[in-house]
Chains A and B, each alone.
Chain A
Amino acid sequence: DSGVTQTPKHLITATGQRVTLRCSPRSGDLSVYWYQQSLDQGLQFLIQYYNGEERAKGNILERFSAQQFPDLHSELNLSSLELGDSALYFCASSVADGRGFHNEQFFGPGTRLTVL
């Protein structure tokens, strides 16, 4: 599968814990985007990385952080988890960084996080 991949598919953890979600972009894509989808807030942009560097931030909490590695895969770290962090976390990738124009984003299947 040459599309965007995300691991794990499901994650169940307890409040106060820390988890790491992983995303591998499509081959050739340099940008990675993270989104959070919850029932009440819908799909919200968290953060974007382009070629290893942070490009833009959306509604990302300070307890959350991300990075993009030299092989272009990205990890989203969620710490001090709260019940309200339970959501579906999507990763998307695109060829360019989106400066000056919108480039199509390709989405992964998502990671479902449940905080108990």
Chain B
Amino acid sequence: AQRVTQPEKLLSVFKGAPVELKCNYSYSGSPELFWYVQYSRQRLQLLLRHISRESIKGFTADLNKGETSFHLKKPFAQEEDSAMYYCALSGLNSGAGSYQLTFGKGTKLSVIP
């Protein structure tokens, strides 16, 4: 079974401070990890995926297989970063033979001006 844990429901930081949103996962195979973001009154959208190793809106995330973590980081938080962030793992549903997303419960990031 696959599981994604986001230990913080709410994270408040001051503008300009570093941000780290934690994500840990449990999966027996080779994982593919994602971060999704939901801004106020907007739909859920993909922020970044580990496989592309890119930085989006200043955010980066590194997959650490030893610690089974995929923490999301940004060196200097901006007010517009305030949103709900979800970590997700794409794992194989062996019965269906297809990959499915398992989401963490999300962390609400609040950037204080």
Binding site for B on A (CB under 8 A): 3-4, 33, 35, 41-45, 48, 55-58, 90, 92, 97-102, 104-110
Contacts and interface: CB of A to CB of B under 8 A. Distances in A.
Contact of B98 (A4, A55, A104): A55
Contact of B106 (A42, A55, A97, A107): A42
Contacts of B93: 56, 58
Given A56-B95, A56-B96, A104 B46 contact: yes
A101 B99 contact: yes
Interface of B: 32, 43-46, 86, 90, 93, 95-106
Contact of B100 (A98, A104, A110): A98
A57 B101 contact: no
A107 B103 contact: no
Given A42-B105, A42-B106, A56-B93, A98 B43 contact: no
6 contacts: A58-B93, A58-B100, A99-B99, A101-B99, A105-B46, A107-B43
A111 to B, nearest CB: 12
